[in-house]
Amino acid sequence: MLEAIDLQCTRGERTLFSGLDFRLRGGELLRIAGANGSGKTSLLRLLCGLLAPAGGSVRWHGEDIRRLREEYWGRLVYIGHANAIKDDLTAAENLAIACALGGHRVAAGALRSALDQLGIGGSEHRPARVLSQGQRRRVALARLALSEHSPLWILDEPFTALDARAVDIVQEMIASHVARGAAVVYTTHVELEIAVAVALRIDLGAAAV
Amino acid sequence: MSSGINWFKFSSPASFYPLAKKLAVGFGTLAVVFCAVGLYIGFFMAPTDHQQGESYRIIFIHVPAAWMSMFIYLVMAFWAGMGLAFNTRLSGMMASALAPTGAMFTFIALWTGSLWGKPTWGTWWVWDARLTSELILLFLYFGFLALQAAIDDPRRADRAGAVLALVGVVNVPIIYFSVKWWNTLHQGASVSLSSAPTMATTMLIGMLVMVFGFWFYSIAAVLMRARCIMLERERNSEWAAQYLESGA
Amino acid sequence: MLETAVFVIRRDLLLAMRRRSDVLTVLLFFVIVVSLFPLGVGPEPALLRTIAPGVIWVAALLASMLALSRVFAQDYADGTLEQMLLSASPLSVIVAGKVLAHWLMTGLPLVLLAPVLALQFDVPQNFLGELMLSLLLGTPALSLIGTIGAALTLGLRGGGALVALLVLPLYIPVLIIGAGALDAAAAGLGAGAHLLLLGAFLVMAAAFAPWVAAVALRIALE
């Protein structure tokens, strides 16, 4: 499904990594590990197609994602470092926008249950301005509860700012998504075991100089 | 390839760099010779104009500079388009190297135009269609230079500059015709440049020689600048390290 | 596809309604700049009548430019823009939606307010229609072209001044034709030709600008 071939990434003058190859099938979980500055986020952005590789290619079912474009993006769910949350909108509105940009309309009831699942059902109609960092992260991650149809999740540090209970919930969501036969790529600093059949790991090592 | 030369070889900086030096020296020499001959023809051999006296001689610099200013913008847009389409490193460097030369010729064209305007029209500046378009062209060059200067990452600078240059090149004819139209609607103080008397053959030759001189100068200056940009951007690469070590 | 555009327009309008002061700032800027000219050149009605089209057009141009940085800045800062780049709908459609919403908030109010300001300049009342029509066709074109500049300068230092440098030269045809429409009407020639040209310019800008801005956004976010 998702395949990286001889992938190389440079930022400015630094080469973050090169010659990176991997293949990720449905039902597999891939964790990207590495020190700060080793290029974890850059790798995820490469896999999304936000960044053009300095060499090599990323393929989805054998086709270069830079040619597939919208066709690939319609399948993909990416939760980045930034939460993409607007202060002036309510939690429910923010979630609805995230889903609509991803290409599917969601009913109000589904929004509510997704927020409930992340434990912020009560804040549904409050503007995001009054939410804490952890709560904002939960709103962003609530999109996952509405993205069971997506065959590929790419998550950049999903556990930052979350409390222990929320970490458990998100871990559980990832595990059951992988069990459904989808692929998940994520980065994290937190050492934790997500219970899945196939867990792969790529270590980018120390920061590039 | 039937010619037996691999042109794509020279689209990589490592092989272009030494070639550029030889070319720059060659074209630089030609530029000096042509400009010297052209100026000699313009200032000593061409006959005095019966209407404008000696002051008309400034067109030997003004007209070639104005031509170059527009032509270089086109070349810049061409390289920009190549860079966006084929993602070659050299294209962006060429576009960046062309911009300062283009801006310089635009400025020379404006400056000499104003020097010519004072004795001829009795004023330093006239909102003539050509002068106005030339001024706007200068703004376009400034925009390109400012955008590239504001971006630290050379790759983004190249690509963003390329988009701007292409948008600019599409707009140049629109700007020119709208300015011309505006000018005809506001016919008042302006005197048309096109009423110049028929040109003597020596004048024409002088002008052509100057055009070639400016051409060669541009090529030499752009190649030299491209070399600097290249070395700066690729200072960590193998070929640049070798080059610096050899102390050439 | 169209659904996404409509959605983006509604979202941006909703955001603007929750932050009305931003919209008002641009409008007030327009009013103040126009009102400064009589103070600068003197209250002579004949002179004011002559400069009115140019003044109103230049002020509209500056006001719409002032608002440009907001088209993408917020979405860029909070990560929404990244999601837009990864949307299942083409980015150019989303950009087109954003430009339209932007124009509805910053351009349309200028068009509606312009006749009132024109009266300050003693512009004959039978030309007010031409003034509004020219602005109605011209200001969306300004927003469209400006969006390219906003996308190119996203996240750069000195963004505001830089946008001006990039975008103002490209605005010149719109300024010439737009302000010319009024002059032509005043000269008894009729503004028809000018308005047609403005319309053609708008169609061209609408066809290409969102697409170019989308390319520029992808470059900016790399």
Interface check C173 vs B, CB under 8 A: yes
pLDDT above 80 for A77:
yes
User: Radius of gyration of chain A from Cα atoms?
Assistant: 17
The CA distance from A12 to the nearest CA of chain B, in Å, is 6
Contacts of C71 (CB under 8 A, 6+ apart): C98, C99, C102, C146, C147, C150
The CA distance from A47 to the nearest CA of chain B, in Å, is 19
Question: With bands split at pLDDT 50, 70 and 90, how would you rate the model's confidence at B185?
Answer: low
Interface test with A, best of C82, C95, C218 (most A CBs within 10 A): C82
pLDDT above 50 for B140:
yes
Average pLDDT for A114-124: 88
| pLDDT score at A133 | 92
Structural domains counted in chain C: 1
Strand partners, A79: A155
Determine the residue of chain B that is closest to A15 in CA distance: B236
| pLDDT score at B190 | 39
Q: CB–CB of B215/B38 below 8 Å?
A: no
Contacts of B174 in chain C (CB under 8 A): 173, 201
| pLDDT score at B58 | 86
DSSP string for residues in chain B: -TT---GGGGGSHHHHHHHHHHHHHHHHHHHHHHHHHHHHIIIIISPPBTTTBGGGGGHHHHHHHHHHHHHHHHHHHHHHHHHHHH--HHHHHHHHHHHHHHHHHHHHHHHHHHHHHHHHHSSS----HHHHHHHHHHHHHHHHHHHHHH--SHHHHHHHHHHHHHHHHHHHHHHHHHHHHHHHHT-SS---GGGPPPPPHHHHHHHHHHHHHHHHHHHHHHHHHHHHHHHHHTTTSHHHHHHHHTT-
Q: Which residues of B touch A (CB under 8 A)?
A: 152-153, 236
**Model ipTM?**
0.91
pLDDT tens-digit readout, B36-69: 998 888 888 877 776 677 778 888 899 899 999 9
For residue A201, the number of C-alpha atoms closer than 13 Å in the C-beta half-sphere is: 11
The CA distance from B81 to the nearest CA of chain C, in Å, is 13
Q: CB–CB of A72/A128 below 8 Å?
A: no
pLDDT above 50 for B35:
yes
Distance (Å, whole) CA A173 – CA A164: 14
| pLDDT score at B238 | 75
* Mean pLDDT taken over chain B: 83
pLDDT above 80 for B112:
yes
| pLDDT score at A208 | 61
Q: Which residues of A touch C (CB under 8 A)?
A: 48-52, 70, 73-74, 76, 78, 80-86, 88-89, 93, 97-98, 100-103
Q: Nearest CB to C216: which of B163, B174, B181? A: B163
Average pLDDT for C182-194: 83
pLDDT above 60 for B83:
yes
Q: What is the domain extent for residue C127?
A: 2-220
Average pLDDT for C156-162: 83
| pLDDT score at A167 | 92
pLDDT above 70 for B3:
no
CATH for A1-75+150-209?
Answer: 3.40.50.300
The CA distance from B66 to the nearest CA of chain C, in Å, is 18
Please report the number of interchain residue pairs, chain A to chain B, with beta-carbon separation below 8 angstroms: 3
Question: With bands split at pLDDT 50, 70 and 90, how would you rate the model's confidence at B4?
Answer: very low
| pLDDT score at A46 | 94
The CA distance from C107 to the nearest CA of chain A, in Å, is 23
| pLDDT score at A76 | 93
Q: Nearest CB to B163: which of C184, C201, C215? A: C215
Query: Which of C16, B135, B43, C172 has its CA nearest to residue A88?
Result: C16
DSSP 3-state of C1: coil
B33 C-beta neighbours (distance < 10 Å), count: 14
pLDDT above 90 for B215:
yes
Interface test with A, best of B84, B155, B231, B232 (most A CBs within 10 A): B155
Distance (Å) of CA B50 to CA A54, A124, B24, B38, B117: 64, 86, 41, 21, 17
Question: Residue ranges of the domains in chain A?
Answer: 1-75+150-209, 85-146
pLDDT tens-digit readout, A135-188: 999 999 999 999 999 999 999 999 988 999 999 999 999 999 999 999 999 998
Determine the residue of chain A that is closest to C83 in CA distance: A101
pLDDT above 50 for B5:
no
pLDDT above 50 for B2:
no
Contacts of C173 in chain B (CB under 8 A): 171, 174-175, 178
| pLDDT score at B189 | 39
| pTM of the complete model | 0.89
pLDDT above 90 for A124:
no
Percent of chain C surpassing pLDDT 70: 100
Contacts of A12 in chain B (CB under 8 A): 152-153
